């Protein structure tokens, strides 16, 4: 970003990407996240901070940063609780060619945005990040949650024949017109809808992309919402649903996934799975 002219870059008439950040009292993490986004994202973009209730401390951050970052907007989710409803509300207000969903407490994946956009520009419909392949890593967060996530993704890939190596990650980019075609219905439990979205995008035959990331969960503190019982139940529900659907499909497994590895992008590097 050109520090001499930051407003022109972040105040486009037609943003390339709308970055959706669902929040629930993420003031501290959001402050850091917005500063990093403003410094790193060079393409015309907007940031939609989606909140459920008035009084959320994230709104104070949006108000404070708006003069210097004019395409930040707070979007009030009035459709119901949970990430899925937050995404519906955000997408209804999004003006970008692509939509990127992002968690306020994960700063590491910001560095993958350029590579995700490159895959979308190359024709992908749906790009997911991965913490478990091609050099990706997961740091921090709940040990049990991390172990279950890694095991679930590894097992799901091998049993279902589907190709995304980290369907459960919440860092995903897609064409907004495809959102409703996936018919998402996850219960408002954590980021389970991200898993459902990853499964259904593969079963729908969308052109897929994947970018490895180093995920640093809760780098700046705050309490995780991970709850072993409810989260395991909802993720297991989609694990079994996706497995059944893939086994019933006439076409075993999803199509190839275009992988863009950041260390190789300077040379135009990418590999196809």
Q: Per-residue pLDDT for the chain (273 aa), expressed as one digit of tens each?
A: 333 333 344 446 689 999 999 999 999 999 999 999 999 999 999 999 999 999 999 999 999 999 999 999 999 999 999 999 999 999 999 999 999 999 888 887 898 999 999 999 999 999 999 999 998 988 766 677 678 888 889 999 999 989 999 999 999 999 999 999 999 999 988 889 999 999 999 999 999 999 999 887 655 555 555 455 567 899 999 999 999 999 887 555 567 899 998 755 444 445 555
Strands (E) in the chain, as ranges, are: 17-22, 45-51, 72-76, 98-101, 126-130, 137-140, 172-174, 208-212, 214-217, 257-259, 271-272
What span, in angstroms and rounded, lies between the C-alpha atoms of 264 and 66? Answer: 35
Q: What is the pLDDT of residue 273?
A: 52
Q: What is the pLDDT of residue 107?
A: 80
What are the respective helix, strand and coil percentages of the chain, to the nearest 5? Answer: 40, 20, 40
Residues sharing a CB contact under 8 Å with residue 212, sequence separation 6 or more, in sequence order? 112, 129, 130, 131, 133, 134, 135, 136, 259, 261, 262
In the three-class reduction of DSSP (H, G, I as helix; E, B as strand; rest coil), residue 174 is classed as: strand
What span, in angstroms and rounded, lies between the C-alpha atoms of 143 and 147? Answer: 6
CA distances 157 to 16, 78, 97, 236, Å, are 32, 36, 30, 14
Q: What is the pLDDT of residue 218?
A: 55
Q: What is the pLDDT of residue 141?
A: 65
What span, in angstroms and rounded, lies between the C-alpha atoms of 90 and 157? Answer: 30
Q: What is the pLDDT of residue 173?
A: 98
First to last CA, the chain: 33
CA distances 85 to 110, 254, 255, Å, are 23, 27, 29
Q: What is the pLDDT of residue 138?
A: 83
In this prediction the pTM is 0.86
What span, in angstroms and rounded, lies between the C-alpha atoms of 211 and 130? Answer: 6
Q: What is the pLDDT of residue 94?
A: 97
What span, in angstroms and rounded, lies between the C-alpha atoms of 189 and 180? Answer: 20
Could you give the strand order of the β-sheet that contains 98-101, starting from the edge strand earlier in sequence? 72-76, 45-51, 17-22, 98-101, 172-174, 126-130, 208-212, 257-259, 271-272
Reported as type and span, the H/E element at residue 193 is helix 192-203
Q: What is the pLDDT of residue 213?
A: 93
Q: What is the pLDDT of residue 148?
A: 82
| Residue 80: both structure tokens together | 């119901």
Contact 182, 197 (CB under 8 A): yes
Token look-up 């959706």 returns 20
């Amino acid at each position: 970003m050109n520090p001499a002219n930051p407003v022109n870059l972040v105040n486009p008439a037609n943003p390339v990407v709308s970055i959706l950040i669902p929040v629930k009292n993420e003031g501290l993490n959001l402050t850091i996240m917005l500063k990093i986004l403003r410094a790193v994202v060079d393409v015309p973009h907007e940031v939609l901070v989606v909140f459920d209730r008035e009084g959320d401390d994230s709104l104070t951050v949006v108000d404070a940063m708006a003069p210097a970052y004019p395409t930040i907007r707070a979007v009030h989710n009035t459709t119901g609780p949970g990430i899925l409803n937050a995404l519906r509300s955000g997408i209804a207000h999004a003006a970008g060619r692509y939509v990127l969903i992002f968690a306020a407490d994960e700063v590491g994946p910001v560095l993958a945005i350029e590579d995700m956009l490159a895959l979308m520009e190359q024709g992908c419909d749906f790009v997911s990040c991965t913490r478990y392949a091609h050099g990706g890593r997961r740091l921090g967060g709940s040990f049990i949650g991390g172990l279950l996530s890694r095991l679930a993704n590894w097992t799901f890939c091998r049993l279902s024949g589907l190709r995304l190596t980290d369907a459960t990650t919440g860092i995903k980019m897609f064409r907004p017109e495809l959102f409703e075609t996936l018919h998402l219905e996850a219960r408002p439990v954590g980021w389970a809808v991200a898993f459902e979205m990853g499964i259904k995008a593969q079963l729908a035959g969308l052109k897929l992309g994947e970018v490895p990331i180093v995920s640093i969960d809760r780098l700046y503190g705050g309490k995780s919402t991970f709850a072993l019982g409810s989260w395991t139940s909802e993720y297991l529900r989609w694990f079994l649903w996706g497995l059944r659907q893939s086994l019933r499909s006439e076409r075993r497994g999803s199509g190839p996934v275009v992988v863009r590895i950041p260390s190789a992008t300077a040379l135009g590097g990418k590999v196809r799975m």
